[in-house]
Amino acid sequence: MRLVIYGCGGHGREMALAARPRPVVFMSDGTEGISRADLFPDDEICVAIGSSATRRLLTEKVQAYRSATIIAPTAVLDPSAQIGDGAQICDFSYIGSNVRIGRQLQCNVRSHVHHDSVIADYVTFSPGTLCLGTVHIGDDVFIGAGAVLRNGSPDRPIVIGEGATIGMGAVVTKSVPAGVTVIGNPARP
């Protein structure tokens, strides 16, 4: 069974490193790597594209194949964490206790998801994202490098709505509505 990285760009190359020591084959819809016509029935595919919308589209194109979940050897995962299909957990990342992660999360280098957080499908954590405890993140959310999401509480989690964008370095201290982009410290629309 081969591990196929769908995406020959920067994140694809980082996922090849995270998958070590397992050898990989790269695939694209362009001229780099193999094409979908070259796939074998037992291939596992990691869709390593940063855009949530494109990652979702490409995942649908290869839905007949097993989705590869990649967890880098230096990542730390609490045994109680639930990780969805196709998750990509890069080096030096941390997934804490009672965390639930949906399908196709990209958790880039040195990103953290702390206790009791719920992450939906096709979410992107850029390098150095800190998601503190009891944060609920909707589908297709993009979080920029170095952003910090303050912890919520069991009766009042911080909620990041579907399709929201958290800017690089933003400090999120309260919930963010669906589709809204926030930046700054404290983060504002």
| pLDDT tens digit sequence for 64-74 | 999 999 999 99
Q: Which CATH number fits domain 71-182: 3.40.50.1980, 3.30.43.10, 2.60.120.10, 2.160.10.10?
A: 2.160.10.10
* CATH topology (fold) of 3-67: Rossmann fold (3.40.50)
Position 1 scores a pLDDT of: 85
Q: What is the pLDDT of residue 11?
A: 92
Task: Summarize pLDDT for 127-152 with one digit per residue, the tens.
Answer: 999 999 999 999 999 999 999 999 99
The residues of the chain that CATH labels 3.40.50.20 are 3-67
pLDDT at position 34, please? 94
Extended strands (E) in 13-163 = 24-27, 44-47, 66-67, 70-71, 76-77, 82-83, 88-89, 94-95, 100-101, 106-107, 112-113, 118-119, 124-125, 130-131, 135-137, 142-143, 148-149, 158-160
CATH 2.160.10.10 placement within the chain: 71-182
Q: Residues of the chain with pLDDT > 90: what percent?
A: 97
Catalytic choice (112, 114, 115, 136):
115
Confidence band, pLDDT 50/70/90 cuts, at residue 78: very high
pLDDT at 2: 94
How are strands ordered across the β-sheet holding 148-149?
76-77, 94-95, 112-113, 130-131, 148-149, 171-172
Say what the pLDDT of residue 31 is: 85
Res. 30 pLDDT band, cuts 50 70 90: confident
The whole-number average pLDDT for the span 150-158 is 97
Q: What is the structure's pLDDT at 70? A: 97
Catalytic annotation on 136?
A: no
pTM value? 0.94
